[in-house]
Structure 1
Amino acid sequence: MQAGLVVILAAGVALGNVSVIVNATLSLAVTALPALLERDHGVTLDPVIVVWITVAVLLHSAGMIGLYDRVWWWDHLTHTLSGGLVAIAGYAVTSAIDEHAPDVTLPPAFLWVFVFLFTVAVGVCWELLEMIGRELARAMDVEPILIVYSVEDTMLDLVFNVVGATIVAAMARLSGGRAVLERLGDSLARQ
């Protein structure tokens, strides 16, 4: 998958597309984080989370070379994956607080409400950053790195973030999926 990101980066360079170059470079950096965290801080992420992160950034970077424009559902897929990833991270952080803070006790129903709201809040913050970035790029007369298509597209992005969070919550409610999610969340929470 990292080789795929290198190919996308090379395509961005060949096309002279700054958005593709920046996104592919940042995506490669993100894929290196799990190994750096393990080497420098002894933090070991579950392999499923590492693959999930890598797939999400690879698909996002691939979208930047035209798939967002040509494949109507590509943006929905990437936001669903990202929303699920944010939900797992929110679950891990919230579970760690619940487990390690003696004055905090979170009922399971509240935990999932919090994770859902956390995912929505992160999605809103991301969309605001995209819009601010676009306006700053316009003000400086440079090409925006992140593309904002419309308010309707932004709302759909948020909807698919929620779809990702809902899938993660559903996994937690299913008997087999609950163990997988707890393993993923516990691997993050231990760190």
Structure 2
Amino acid sequence: MKRGVQTFLSIGFSIVMLVLFVIFIMRDDHYRYPIALGGIACALVPLILDKIFNVRFALPFILSYFAFLIGSLCLGSMLRFYHLGWWDTFLHFLSGTLVAFLAIDLMGKLTTKQSQSEMSAGFIFLFVFTFGVFCGAMWEIWEFSSDQFLGTNTQGGGNFDTMTDIIADSVGALIIAFWNARRSRKKNKDV
């Protein structure tokens, strides 16, 4: 089931982006056609990882990944939702949930079932939450470096923008960390 959803989302999103790419090329829209092209590449990443490297992701990660792609590429960049003051913050919240789900996936892939059942809910919470905060901080370091060395303006609001983004990432990761810790505690009680 999960694999079918991943394949459907990857191919479906790629087709939509391909159609948009062609439309934007025909309209000579030099701003949007590279975004559509990038969307095709991003949509195919989970499918390529699955088919070539046999790396599969859990359904919550896949769903949050495609929600983030839709939010950032389609709504944010193509439809210019980034002009809404709260949109970037919302996407940072969403990315916090995305990387928290990735942390859960990584923990499942890097540990045995036995060791997972022996992990405390507190440890699992701490791992998932700190992974989310770490990824958010690394993104802000990337934005800062890009602004300093490439002359971009990704941190237009300066320190306020950076801190708002990190807080939004952290809140998203915190919610998923709490949810997962409760789920893990319940699962371990049932064993």
Once the two structures are TM-superposed, the CA of residue 101 in structure 1 deviates from its matched residue by: 9.4
Report the residue type matching 2:77 in the other structure.
Answer: M
Q: Return closer, same or farther for 1:23/1:116 CA change in 2, 3 Å cut-off.
A: farther
Report the residue type matching 1:78 in the other structure.
Answer: L
Q: TM-score, normalised by structure 2?
A: 0.71
- Alignment root-mean-square deviation, CA: 3.1
* Counterpart for residue 4 of structure 2: none
Structure 2 CA distance, aligned partners of 1:49 and 1:22?
A: 25
Q: Return closer, same or farther for 1:22/1:135 CA change in 2, 3 Å cut-off.
A: farther
Tell whether 2:168 aligns with 1:160: yes
Task: For 1:41-190, list aligned pairs within 5 A.
Answer: 41-61=53-73, 62-65=75-78, 66-69=80-83, 71-99=84-112, 106-138=119-151, 144=152, 147-150=154-157, 151-173=159-181, 178=183
Structure 2 CA distance, aligned partners of 1:136 and 1:73?
A: 27
Q: TM-score, normalised by structure 1?
A: 0.71
Q: Is the 8 A contact 1:86 1:119 kept in 2?
A: yes
Q: Is the 8 A contact 2:129 2:170 kept in 1?
A: yes
* Counterpart for residue 189 of structure 1: none
Instruction: Look up the SS of the partner of 1:111 in the other structure.
Output: helix
* Counterpart for residue 187 of structure 1: none
The alignment-based identity, stated in percent, is 22
Once the two structures are TM-superposed, the CA of residue 97 in structure 1 deviates from its matched residue by: 3.7
Q: Is the 8 A contact 1:9 1:25 kept in 2?
A: no
Consecutive unaligned residues of structure 2, counting only runs of 5 or more, are 1-12
Count of residue pairs brought into register by the alignment = 166
Instruction: Look up the SS of the partner of 1:44 in the other structure.
Output: coil
Q: Return closer, same or farther for 1:93/1:46 CA change in 2, 3 Å cut-off.
A: closer
Report the residue type matching 1:49 in the other structure.
Answer: F
**Deviation digits for residues 72-91 of structure 1 (CA, Å, limit 9, x no counterpart):** 22112211111111011112
Structure 1 CA distance, aligned partners of 2:30 and 2:164?
A: 29
Q: Is the 8 A contact 1:31 1:53 kept in 2?
A: no
Q: Is the 8 A contact 1:5 1:58 kept in 2?
A: no
Instruction: Look up the SS of the partner of 1:149 in the other structure.
Output: coil
Structure 1 CA distance, aligned partners of 2:66 and 2:94?
A: 11
Structure 2 CA distance, aligned partners of 1:47 and 1:35?
A: 13
